[in-house]
Structure 1
Amino acid sequence: MYSIDQADVVIDLVSQTLSLPKHHKFYLISSGENGIGEQENSGKTPRGWHKIEQKIGGEMPLNAVFKARQWTGEVFDTALGESNPQRDWILSRILWLKGLEPDFNLGDGCDTFNRYIYIHGTPDSEPMGIPKSHGCIRMHSHQIQEIYDLLHEGDLVYVSEYKIEA
C-alpha cells in the first residue's frame, strides 16, 4: 500500500511513541488501555495506514475542552480536573484519523473514522508511555499543539503494533 518512508506520522504502539520523521520530532504518547485492534466499540487502538481527515481546534486556547469535537467553553485546569475525575479529557487540538485499508480499518465494524479515533491533547498530569486511553492517541497539550501546526489534512499516519527501529 504505502512505504514507511511516506509516513508523515509514525506511531509505535510497542514503545508508545509518535514521531514526525520529516521534522525530526519524537514524543511519548498513550494509546488504548484495552490494547490494539480495529473492532468497533472495543476501546482498542487501530493499526495500519491512516490519514488525517480533519484538524479541529486550531483557533482554540491551549487546554480548550472538547466534547463531540465541539469546544465546551471550558479551559482545563487542576480544579476542573479534580471536580470531574472520571472524565476522558480531549484537550487543545484534535487530529481525526481515517483508515485507508478496506475491511481492516475502513468499513463496517472496523472504521477508524466512524470510531472517532483521534490524536488529541490530554492533561499534563496524565502519564505518557503507557496505554491508558479509550482507543485514541493521547499527547500532552503543548505537544499536540506543536504537531497540529506542523501537520495537514491528508497527511499519512502509520500505526504499528511492532517496534519500529529508527
Structure 2
Amino acid sequence: MKNIHISIRDQRLILKENETPIRNYPVSTSRFGIGTEMGSMKTPTGRFRVAQKIGGDMPSGAIFQSRVPLKPGDPIPPTEDFVMSRILWLDGLDEHNANTRDRFIYIHGTKHEDKIGTPASCGCVRMRNADVIELFDLVDEGTPVVIET
C-alpha cells in the first residue's frame, strides 16, 4: 500500500510502497510554523488521508481558485500564493487535526519553485509543479499521509 510521509524539519515528502521509499521530493511547508488553528496559516501535523484529487486533466502551471481551474482570460487572483497544477486535498484523521479539510490544506504546485526546500507556504505543502503532477498520478484518494516535525 502506498503512503506519503512529510518531514517539516527536512522539508521532504517521501512516497512509500509499504515501507520502501519509491519517490523523494523537496517541499515547502508553512513559513508560520506548525499548528491546527483556523486561520493560522500553519501546517498541521499528524495522520491524514488524501480526501480528493483535483486537476488531473489540467496542464502544468494551471492556476486554481477555490479548487476550480482558471480559464484563459480569467483575471489572475490577487495573491502570491497560487495553487497550481494539481491539488491533493487532505483530511485530518486525528482529533487535533480534524479541521484540516475545512482549513483547505493541500499538497499542490506553486509558482514559487525557487523556495521549495524552505518553509515558505501559507499552511499547505507546496511542491514543484512537475513533482506534484508525478505524485498525483502515483497516489489514489484515500492514500494515507503522515506529516511530522
Superposed displacement of residue 129, structure 1? 1.0
1:120 to 102, 108, 114: 108
Q: Could you list the per-position Cα deviations for residues 96-155 of structure 1 after superposition, in whole angstroms to 9, with x for gaps in the alignment?
A: 0000012x001xxxx000000000001264311111000000001000000000000000
Matched, 1:157 2:149: no
Distance 2:30 2:9 in 1: 12
The 3-state SS of whatever aligns with 2:70 is: strand
Superposed displacement of residue 41, structure 1? 0.5
Q: What corresponds to 1:8 in structure 2? A: 3
- Structure with the largest fraction of strand: 2
1:32 to 30, 33, 37: 30
Identity over aligned pairs, percent: 39
Cα RMSD after superposing both structures: 2.1
1:88 to 81, 95, 115: 81
Gaps of 5+ in 2: none
Query: In structure 2, do the counterparts of structure 1 residues 115 and 85 end up closer, same or farther at CA, with 3 Å as the change threshold?
Result: closer
Query: In structure 2, do the counterparts of structure 1 residues 66 and 14 end up closer, same or farther at CA, with 3 Å as the change threshold?
Result: same
Q: Could you list the per-position Cα deviations for residues 24-47 of structure 1 after superposition, in whole angstroms to 9, with x for gaps in the alignment?
A: 100100000100111111010000
Q: What corresponds to 1:3 in structure 2? A: none
Q: What corresponds to 2:90 in structure 1? A: 97
Query: In structure 2, do the counterparts of structure 1 residues 84 and 67 end up closer, same or farther at CA, with 3 Å as the change threshold?
Result: closer
What TM-score do the two structures reach when normalised by structure 1?
A: 0.81
Larger Rg: 1
Matched, 1:21 2:16: yes
Gaps of 5+ in 1: 1-5, 162-166
1:43 to 41, 44, 48: 41
